[in-house]
A and B are shown apart, each in its own frame.
Chain A
Amino acid sequence: MEAIPLSQAKAGGYYKIVSVRKNGSGLLERLAAFGITKGDQLRLTQKYPAFVVKVGETVLALDLEYANAITVTSSN
Chain B
Amino acid sequence: MADRKTKVFLVGNPNVGKSVIFNQLTGRYTTIANYPGTTITLAKGELELPSGRYEVIDTPGLSLLTSSSDEGEVTRKLLRENEGIVVQIADAKNLLRSLLLTLQLLEGGFRPILVINMCDEAQKIGMKIDAPLLQARLGIPVVTTVAVQGIGMDLLKKRIDTLGVPSLPLPPTRGGEKDSKSLAKSLLQGVVTERQAKDFLLEKMGTWCSHPVWGWFIVAAALELLYLFVGKLGAGMLVDFVENQIFGKTISPGAIWLLDHLLLFSKSQGIQLIHDAFVGPYGLITMGLSYGVAIVLPIVTTFFIAFSLMEDSGYLPRLAVMVDRLFRSIGLNGKAVLPMVLGLGCDTMATLTTRILETRKQRLITTLLLALAVPCSAQLGILLGMFGRMPFWTFGVWLLVIVSVLMLVGFASSRILSGEHQGFLMELPPLRRPKLSNVVKKTLARLEWYIKEAIPLFLLGTFLLFLLDAFHLLESLQKLASPLVVSLLGLPAEAANAFLIGFLRRDYGATGFFDMYHHGELSQVQALVALVVITLFVPCVANVFIVVKEHGLKVALRMVSFIFPFAFFVGGILHWIF
Residue positions of A touching B, CB distance < 8 A? 24-27, 29-35, 37, 45-46, 48-50, 52, 56-63, 65-66
Determine the distance from Cα of A48 to Cα of B326 in the docked complex, in whole angstroms. 12
With a cutoff of 8 Å between Cβ atoms, the chain A residues found around residue B93 in the complex are 57
Determine the distance from Cα of A59 to Cα of B427 in the docked complex, in whole angstroms. 6
Determine the distance from Cα of A24 to Cα of B333 in the docked complex, in whole angstroms. 16
Can you list 20 contacts pairing A with B, beta carbon distance less than 8 Å? A26-B68, A27-B423, A29-B68, A33-B63, A35-B97, A37-B178, A46-B210, A46-B211, A48-B212, A49-B212, A49-B322, A49-B325, A50-B210, A50-B334, A56-B96, A57-B93, A59-B428, A59-B429, A63-B328, A65-B421
Determine the distance from Cα of A66 to Cα of B64 in the docked complex, in whole angstroms. 21
With a cutoff of 8 Å between Cβ atoms, the chain A residues found around residue B430 in the complex are 59
Partner of A61 from the list B67, B181, B317 (CB cut-off 8 Å) is B317
Interface majority SS on A: helix, strand, loop or mixed?
A: mixed
Q: Given A37-B178, A61-B334, are A49 and B424 neighbors across the interface (CB < 8 Å)?
A: no
Q: Does B173 contact A (CB under 8 A)?
A: no
B318 to chain A: closest residue by CB? A61
Residue positions of B touching A, CB distance < 8 A? 62-64, 67-68, 93-94, 96-97, 100, 125, 177-178, 181, 206-207, 210-212, 215, 317, 320-325, 328, 333-334, 420-430
Report, nearest first, the 3 A-B pairs whose CB atoms are least far apart: A33-B63, A35-B97, A63-B424
Q: Judging by beta carbons under 8 Å apart, are B425 and A66 in contact? A: yes
Q: How far is the CB of B89 from chain A (nearest CB, A)?
A: 16
Q: Judging by beta carbons under 8 Å apart, are B428 and A25 in contact? A: no
With a cutoff of 8 Å between Cβ atoms, the chain B residues found around residue A63 in the complex are 324-325, 328, 333-334, 423-425
Partner of A50 from the list B100, B178, B324 (CB cut-off 8 Å) is B324
With a cutoff of 8 Å between Cβ atoms, the chain B residues found around residue A65 in the complex are 421, 423-424
Determine the distance from Cα of A48 to Cα of B317 in the docked complex, in whole angstroms. 15
Determine the distance from Cα of A31 to Cα of B426 in the docked complex, in whole angstroms. 10
Q: Judging by beta carbons under 8 Å apart, are A30 and B428 in contact? A: no
Q: How far is the CB of B183 from chain A (nearest CB, A)?
A: 13
With a cutoff of 8 Å between Cβ atoms, the chain A residues found around residue B177 in the complex are 32, 37
Q: Judging by beta carbons under 8 Å apart, are A50 and B325 in contact? A: yes
Q: Judging by beta carbons under 8 Å apart, are A62 and B423 in contact? A: yes
Determine the distance from Cα of A34 to Cα of B207 in the docked complex, in whole angstroms. 21
Most buried by A among B94, B206, B428: B428
With a cutoff of 8 Å between Cβ atoms, the chain B residues found around residue A24 in the complex are 420
With a cutoff of 8 Å between Cβ atoms, the chain A residues found around residue B181 in the complex are 35, 37
Q: Judging by beta carbons under 8 Å apart, are B422 and A58 in contact? A: no
Determine the distance from Cα of A19 to Cα of B321 in the docked complex, in whole angstroms. 24
Determine the distance from Cα of A35 to Cα of B90 in the docked complex, in whole angstroms. 13
Determine the distance from Cα of A46 to Cα of B125 in the docked complex, in whole angstroms. 22
With a cutoff of 8 Å between Cβ atoms, the chain B residues found around residue A31 in the complex are 425
Most buried by B among A27, A50, A52: A50
Q: Judging by beta carbons under 8 Å apart, are B428 and A62 in contact? A: no
Determine the distance from Cα of A31 to Cα of B292 in the docked complex, in whole angstroms. 44
A52 to chain B: closest residue by CB? B210
With a cutoff of 8 Å between Cβ atoms, the chain A residues found around residue B325 in the complex are 49-50, 63
